[in-house]
Structure 1
Amino acid sequence: MNVLYITVDALRADHVTSEIMPKTHGFVDKNMEYTRCYANGPGTPWSFPTLLGSRYSGGTDGFGIPGEDDVRPTLAETLQEEGYATAGFTDNRFASSDYNYDRGMDSMWDSGATSSEKRLKHEVRGRLDQDGLLFKAILRGYHLIDDLLLNIRGDDTRFVRAEVLVDQVTEWIEDRENDWFAWVHPMDTHAPYEAPDEYQRQYLEEPVSRRKSQKLASAATHRPDDLSDKDWQLQKQLYKAECQYLDDQLERLFTSLPDSVRDETVIVVTADHGEMHGEHGLGGHPQQFWEEVIHVPCGISIPGRSNETIDDQIGLVDIPPTILDSVGIEFPPNWDGHSILPDDDGVVQEREHLFVDVEPELNRDHAGVRHANNWKLMRHDIEGELLLDLNTNLQEDPEGDQSNAATQQYRSLTRVLDEHLDEMEQRRRGETSGVEDEELIEDHLKELGYLE
C-alpha cells in the first residue's frame, strides 16, 4: 500500500469548502473527514515535529528534530525500514533537510529551501567575525543578491508554486514499481498571497502586484493596527484566490494517479497551521493559539474504507501513527501520538487534551491545552492567560475569560498542562537536541514572516 501525504502550509479549516476549494472539499467529504483536527503549534517550526515524527516540539531543544542518532524514528524512517521508497517535496526551510526532515528520505526535493546561496551564507557565518564590518557588508549583499536572483530567474512568487511540486511528485511516483511514500508540502496559502492573475480576478477587479501583496502581508503580521477594513478585505480575497489555485493543483495531483495506483494508495490531506485575517486584530499566524491558527483540515482516504465524518478531537501528532496503522505497520512505542482510525465498532480514540506550545526554549507562560469538551486554556506570555468555553464563546472573546469563575475547569487544565510541560522539560534534559544555529534560524524566521 502506497502513501501520499499532503501537508499544506497555512490552510485554514474553514476555507476547505465547496465554494472556495470544491475539489479538496470533495476529497475530504468523500473519505474520512476529521472536523476537529488541531495543530500542536501555531507555525511550521512547531508543527512539523508532529507531522513527520509524531513528537511534540516542546520536548526538543532548538528547532526541527534531532539528527540520525535520535532515539525516536521519523515516519519516513519507519516506512523506509519496511521497504518503502520515500521522498519529500517542500519549499519551506523549516520543513527541509536543514532541520533534519530528510531523515528516512531516499530523495528530498528541497533545493529551494536549502539553496546553494543559503548554504554559502551559512558557511560564511562560520568563518568570519559576525560582529565585523566585512561580515555585515556581505550579509547586506546577500539580501540584494537574493532579490536579484529572484528577478533574474523570473520568479513571480517568493515560494515555489504547487504546480512545480505536483510535477515533481507525479514524475517521481511514475518511476516507482514497489510501495512508496511521498510527502509534499505546498506553500501557496502562506503569505504573501501571490496567486496567478486569473485566480485573483475571480475575487478582485484587478490583480495586485507582487510588491503590494508582500507589503500587505508584512503589515498584517507585524503592524496589523495599520490595516484598514478595506486592507483586511483585500487580504482575505487574496487568500481565497490562493486557496482556489491550490485546489486546482491538488485535483491535478489526485487525478494524476491511475486507478490501479489510487486503489493501492492511502492519501492524507491536512495543514501545519491556519491563518488569521484580522480576528483579534491579528494577521498571519502569530505565535498564539486562537482557533483560526490551530484548527486545520484533515481528510484521509484509505482503499476499502467507507467515508465517515469524525467529530472527535484529534491532533497533528496523531497523523503519523494513523498512516502506519492504515498500511498495517506498527508505530514506534515512543511516539507521542496514537492511531485515530475507527475501530470495528466505529469508535475513535479521541484526544482528550490537545497541547500547543511554541519557542525553541520551553516557556511555561507560552503554551496551551484544548480539552475535547471545548474548554481551552491559553497562556500567551506577556498577553496573559485565558480560560475560554468555546461552547458558549465560539469567537473566543477575551471578555469571556473564565479563569476566576470556572475554578474546577481552570485547576484541571492547569494541572494537565503543567504535567505535560514537566515531561517536555525532562525530555530536553535527556534527549538529543535539534538545530540550534541562531543565525540560520533567524534568517528562516524572517523569510517566513515570524520576524520583521
Structure 2
Amino acid sequence: RPDHLGLYGYARDTSPNLDAWSKSAVVFDQAYAQAPNTPRSMPSILTGRYPSRIAWTKRFSNYSDLAPEEKTAFEVFQGAGWRTEAVTSHWYFENKAPSLKEGVDAWDNAGFLTIKESNTQSAAPDLTPRVVARLDALKDSEQPFFLFAHYFDPHSRYMQQTSVRTYGKSLMDKYDSEIAFTDHHLKAVLDKLDEPGLREDTIVVILSDHGEAFKEHGFYFHGRTVYNEEIKVPLMVRVPDVEPKRIDDVVGLIDVLPTLAALTGVEAPRALGRSLLPWFSGIGEVPPAPVFLEQLPYPNYEEHVVGVVGPDRVKVIKNVTKNVIEVFDLKADPGETTNLLDRDEDAAKALRETLLRFIDADPGE
C-alpha cells in the first residue's frame, strides 16, 4: 500500500531505503493496479491488458493461465533481442501460471514453493543476493536485458520481523514490520543499481501488484474489492538522465508495458494501456483517461466488482453481482466512506456510463 510508505506520507519509518531511492525517480501518486490479487494483476501488468480483456485458458479459476495468443513483456522483449530473466521465491510462479514463463531465458524461482511454506518463511534475505548476482552477471553484456524480481514478504500471513523493526501486535503492525523488513533487504539491490555499468543505462520500475485491506470496508487481506486499500499501489520509475518528479495524474499498471516499450523502442502491439512517455521525454502530453479496476469472480470469491477512476479522481464502483453502484470523490474522501449517490442520483453520470459501457463490452469466458 502506498499509504504505508514514507515517500507517500506515512508517519511510520517503514521504508527509508525506498524513500531515499524515490528521490531519483518519477513517482506516481495516483497509480492503480487493475486487479486486487496476484493471479489477475500480474498477468495484467505483464501483458498491458485489463483482466477481462485477457484471453485466459480458463477464466473462472483461482489461478487462471494465459491463452497462447497473449504475449507478456518477457516475450515482447525477447522477441526484440533482449535477454529476459526472472528472480522470484513464490509458489505462484512455480506452477500456477506456466504461460508466464514463456519468453524467459532464465527463471530462478528458488525459495518457498508451497502455500504452507510462504506462511512461515521469509524470502527477502535469500532473494536479494540472487537479484544482485544476476545484475552483476548481466551488466557487462552487449545484449540488453529485461530482469523481473518479485518480493513476496509484505503479504498475508504477516510475521513480526524482529531482526529489523516491529511496531506492535495488530495485523497492521505486522504488515508494517514486513514492509520495513523488505525495504531493509532491498537496499543491496538499490545500491547495486546505482553502480557504474547500471546507473547510466538501466530503467528501473518499482511497483506492487495489489494493496491490502484491514477491514476498512469489511474485509481483511485482498482479492475481494476494488476499494483503494486493495488496489491503489506505489509506482516509481527511474530513467537515466530524466529529472525526478511527482506525477499526480491517475495512471494504471496497465500503462507500464506500453511505457517501457516506448522508452526502449520495442513494440507491444496487444497492450491496451497508455504510453506515459511524455512525462519522461518532456515532449508532448499524456492524454487524461479513465483507469478501470476489476475483481473478476473466481472459485474462492464469486462476486464480480468493477470500478473506474476518472482523471478528476472521481471513482465509480459497480458490484455487478449485487447490482449496487457507489460514487466517491477521492480528493475529498480518499477513504471512500461517503457514497455520493446517496445525495445526488446524477452524481458522476458520465463516468458511470463509461463504466457501464466497459462492463457491457466484457467478452466473458
Q: TM-score, with normalisation over the residues of structure 2?
A: 0.85
Letter in 2 for 1:267: V
Offset from partner CA, 1:249-298 (integer Å, 9 cap, x none): 11111112432222121100010011122323432114111111111111
CA distance in 2, matches of 1:160, 1:348: 42
Kept in 1: contact 2:76–2:267 (CA 8 A)? no
CA distance in 2, matches of 1:53, 1:306: 28
Aligned partner of 1:316 in structure 2 is 253
CA gap 1:274/1:27 in 2 versus in 1, 3 angstroms: same
- 1:348–1:297 distance in 2 versus 1, CA, 3 Å: farther
1:179 partnered with 2:144 = yes
Q: Distance in 1 between matches of 2:221 and 2:323?
A: 17
Q: Which amino acid aligns with 1:339?
A: S
Contact 2:207 2:233 in 1 (8 A): yes
Q: Which residue of 2 aligns with 1:390?
A: 330
The 1:368/1:39 distance shift into structure 2, 3 A limit, reads same
1:162 to 101, 124, 127: 124
- 1:418 aligned partner: 356
1:197 match: 162
The one-letter code sitting in structure 2 at the alignment partner of 1:390 is L
User: For residues 423 and 110 of structure 1, do their structure 2 counterparts lie closer, same or farther at Cα, with a shift above 3 Å needed?
Assistant: farther
Contact 2:226 2:295 in 1 (8 A): no
For the 8 Å contact 2:66–2:100, the answer to whether it is kept is no
Percent identity, please: 23
Bigger Cα displacement from structure 2, 171-180 vs 75-84: 171-180
The match for 2:31 is 37
Structure 1 partner of 2:205: 268
Give unmatched runs, 5+ long, in structure 2: 8-12
Q: Which residue of 2 aligns with 1:124?
A: none
Residue 329 of structure 1: how far off its partner (Å): 2.1
CA drift at 1:409? 1.5
User: Whole-Å Cα distance in 1 between the matches of residues 328 and 223 of structure 2?
Assistant: 19
1:75 aligns with one of 57, 73, 76: 73
Measure the CA separation in 2 of the matches of 1:25 and 1:346.
Answer: 28
Contact 1:271 1:298 in 2 (8 A): yes
Distance in 2 (alpha carbons) for counterparts of 1:55 and 1:65? 14
* Structure 2 equivalent of residue 56 of structure 1: 50
CA pair 239-350 structure 1, distance change in 2 beyond 3 A: farther
Q: 1:78 to 1:286 in 2, by over 3 A?
A: closer
TM-score by length of 1: 0.70
| Distance (whole Å) between structure 2 residues aligned to residue 163 and residue 21 of structure 1 | 16
Q: Which has the higher contact order (CA 8 A, sep 6+)?
A: 1
Question: Could you tell me which residue of structure 2 aligns to residue 409 of structure 1?
Answer: 348
- Give the conservation status (yes or no) of the 8 Å contact 1:45–1:95: no
Map of 2:10 onto structure 1: none
Native 8 Å contact 1:54 1:336 kept in 2: yes
- 1:158/1:359 CA distance change after superposition, 3 Å: farther
The RMSD of aligned alpha carbons is 2.7
Q: Secondary structure at the match of 2:362?
A: helix
Task: Report matched runs for 1:254-265 at 5 Å.
Answer: 254-257=190-193, 258-265=195-202
- Which deviates the most, 268-277 or 278-287? 278-287
What SS is found at the alignment partner of 1:78? helix
What SS does the aligned partner of 2:317 have? strand
Distance 1:360 1:282, change over 3 A: closer
1:280 aligns with 2:217: yes
User: Once the 2 structures are TM-superposed, how far is the Cα of residue 65 of structure 1 from its aligned partner?
Assistant: 4.2
Q: Which whole-Å CA distance do the structure 2 matches of 1:83 and 1:186 have between them?
A: 27
Q: Which residue of structure 1 lines up, in the alignment, with residue 84 of structure 2?
A: 86
Provide the rounded CA distance (Å) in 2 between the counterparts of 1:309 and 1:183.
24
Aligned residues: 345
Find 1:13's aligned residue among 2, 20, 36: 2
What SS class does the counterpart of residue 402 from structure 1 fall into?
helix
* Stretch deviating more after TM superposition (97-106 or 317-326): 97-106
Residue of structure 2 in register with 1:134 after alignment: none
Pairwise CA distance, 1:195: 4.4
What residue ranges of structure 1 are gaps of 5+ in the alignment?
1-11, 119-145, 205-230, 430-452
